[in-house]
Amino acid sequence: MSLNFRIVLVEPIYQGNVGSVARVMKNFGFSDLALVNPCPLEGEARAMASHARDLLENATIAESIEEAVAGANLLVGTTGITGTKFDEHVRIPAHIPRDVKKKFEGYSGTIALLFGREDKGFTKDELGMMDMILTIPTSQKYPVMNLSHAVAVILYELSDVQAGETPLADPFDIRLLMEHFSQVLEDIEYPAHKMEKTELMLKRIFGRACLIPREVQTLRGVLRRIQRHLVPKNKND
Amino acid sequence: MSLNFRIVLVEPIYQGNVGSVARVMKNFGFSDLALVNPCPLEGEARAMASHARDLLENATIAESIEEAVAGANLLVGTTGITGTKFDEHVRIPAHIPRDVKKKFEGYSGTIALLFGREDKGFTKDELGMMDMILTIPTSQKYPVMNLSHAVAVILYELSDVQAGETPLADPFDIRLLMEHFSQVLEDIEYPAHKMEKTELMLKRIFGRACLIPREVQTLRGVLRRIQRHLVPKNKND
């Protein structure tokens, strides 16, 4: 298939979980594993990986999320906690695995699926990096899943996604688009206290829209044209 | 909901897996756990169960599958191996979780989901007890999933099944129906060497059809009428 899913574990603390993740990846036919500052991986990791030790040995070890997701077109962060009062906007909207799968249909590219620390999940800044937030619908009574169980459920769902030939936009071009939007917001004197939330909202809208290269270029053209039609700042004073 | 799913682990050998199964059951809102001759359940089982120790403590401990599934309307056996030459008929047809979920829509009753030993799965006789065979589609390169991962995937899929008010037939009545069919097969001098496979085929057909009580009674009426119209054996000689 022309969609590659990279499983990224961010600072996992239990080596048994890392091994279990390797096993279930191989069960469902995935092989691209990246670990950001993992715990030491020794006998227990290999035991839990069982016949998927090769995945463990070939895993990319990275020192930062940026390094682990290099080249990925989309960053999808998984969280069991879908919005608390203080950080709602970084966790919403959260998509369920079945819907995320539908969004990817017909595309080609590399999608990074990120999983946070077993105890603390992602930091707010890390969540802000994600193009899409994924959550597994669980019981309110006990929503916190074991890491490898969460990976199992998501890979089960994604294992038969119908990939296609439509390329996902280049991550570098998307970053330029987001920076361009921020410039325009500044140009129109957008209120500073709303800036961060609105930038994040735009990122999430474009993230779940799975932009293609031409769309990014057209959007940038629109932004350039807007900028040309703005009243120059010194005249407006 | 009016559908109760009982998770039955048959002779599990790793206590960590039993604890992990309890946890993921609670994650997805299930609580009916039965263990057939389990390994000793000690600290590791409790550690892996995490906040689902109550499920572990309330689990039914049974000495046989029959005891563990008492009162269940349907027995669904999970297997990673879907048909080898020597025992194809006991494993086929195997249904994937998504399709099984659809079959249960609209029904009420108790469905036992059975999982075999980590190393050897089910025996042939045990598979013969199942009304339905469930399998998770996995990679050919490494199809053997960890026990708790298999439970996680299946409960994820079943956690939002749309139950209803149509009652599943009573297991005792279904057993009488199957015995009645066997009598009729004998009455018509069905070839002995085909008997077992055909009985199993009938069991699986009725299993995946999710019979309701009236259907069982009507089928028995048909069988009685067939028997009354058969040429008496002594006259046929």
Cis omega (within 30 of 0) for bond into B137 = no
Q: For chain A, report the end-to-end CA distance as a whole number of angstroms.
A: 56
Angle between helices B147-158 and B15-27 (to 10 degrees): 10
A29 and B145 in contact by Cβ < 8 A? no
**Nearest C-alpha neighbor of A175 from the set A67, A50, A71, A65:** A71
B145 and A24 in contact by Cβ < 8 A? yes
**C-alpha dihedral (A214, A198, A90, A74), degrees to nearest 10:** 10
Q: In chain B, what residues touch A161 (CB-CB under 8 Å)?
A: none
- In chain B, the percentage of residues whose pLDDT exceeds 70 is 94
Distance of CA A137 to the CA centre of its chain: 18
At residue B220, the pLDDT reads 93
Residue whose entry in the numeric block shows the structure tokens 């390329």? A167
B139 and A52 in contact by Cβ < 8 A? no
A138 and B23 in contact by Cβ < 8 A? no
How confident is residue B213, by pLDDT bands cut at 50, 70 and 90? Answer: very high
What is the SS3 string spanning B27-82?
Answer: HCCCCEEEEECCCCCCHHHHHHHHHHHHHHHCCEEECCHHHHCCCCCEEEEECCCC
Q: Which of B5, B118, B142 to mutate to test the interface with A (most CBs of A within 10 A)?
A: B142
Distances (CA, A) of A151 to A26, A80, A170, A189: 12, 12, 26, 43
- In chain B, the percentage of residues whose pLDDT exceeds 90 is 79
Distances (CA, A) of A94 to A80, A134, A153: 10, 5, 16
Residue B83, min C-alpha distance to chain A (Å): 18
A160 and B144 in contact by Cβ < 8 A? no
How confident is residue A232, by pLDDT bands cut at 50, 70 and 90? Answer: confident
Residue A50, phi-psi category: left (phi > 0), alpha (psi -120 to 50), beta (remainder): left
Helix boundaries (H) for chain A: 15-27, 43-49, 53-58, 65-68, 88-91, 97-104, 124-129, 147-158, 171-187, 192-209, 213-229, 233-236
The answer, yes or no, to whether ipTM is higher than 0.85 is no
Fold held by B3-167: Alpha/beta knot (3.40.1280)
Comparison of pLDDT for B35 and A80, the residue scoring more? B35
Find the length of chain B: 237
Asked whether residue B234 carries a pLDDT value surpassing 70, the answer given is no
Find the length of chain A: 237
Distance of CA A33 to the CA centre of its chain: 14
Residue A151, min C-alpha distance to chain B (Å): 9
Q: Which residue ranges make up each domain of chain B? A: 3-167, 171-236
Residue A27, min C-alpha distance to chain B (Å): 5
DSSP-assigned letters across all residues of A155-180:
HHHHTT----SEEPPPHHHHHHHHHH
Q: What is the mean pLDDT of chain B?
A: 91
Question: Which residue from B minimizes the CA distance to A138?
Answer: B28
For B60, list phi and psi in degrees, rounded to 5.
-80, 130
Residue A153, min C-alpha distance to chain B (Å): 5
When the candidates are 3.40.50.300, 3.30.70.20, 3.10.20.30, 3.40.1280.10, the CATH number that belongs to A3-166 is 3.40.1280.10
Q: In chain B, what residues touch A31 (CB-CB under 8 Å)?
A: none
**pTM for this predicted structure:** 0.87
Q: What is the gyration radius of the CA atoms in chain A, in angstroms?
A: 19
For A208, list phi and psi in degrees, rounded to 5.
-75, -15
CA pair distance B214, B132, nearest whole angstrom = 21
Q: What is the pLDDT of residues B41-76, one digit of tens each?
A: 999 999 999 999 999 999 999 999 999 999 999 999
Q: What is the pLDDT of residues A110-151, one digit of tens each?
A: 999 999 999 999 998 999 999 999 999 999 999 999 999 999
B149 and A148 in contact by Cβ < 8 A? yes
Q: Which pair of tokens denotes residue B78? A: 């999970």
CA pair distance B234, B237, nearest whole angstrom = 5
Q: What is the pLDDT of residues A168-221, one digit of tens each?
A: 999 999 999 999 999 999 999 999 998 998 899 899 889 988 999 989 999 999
Per-residue pLDDT, averaged over B85-113, amounts to 84
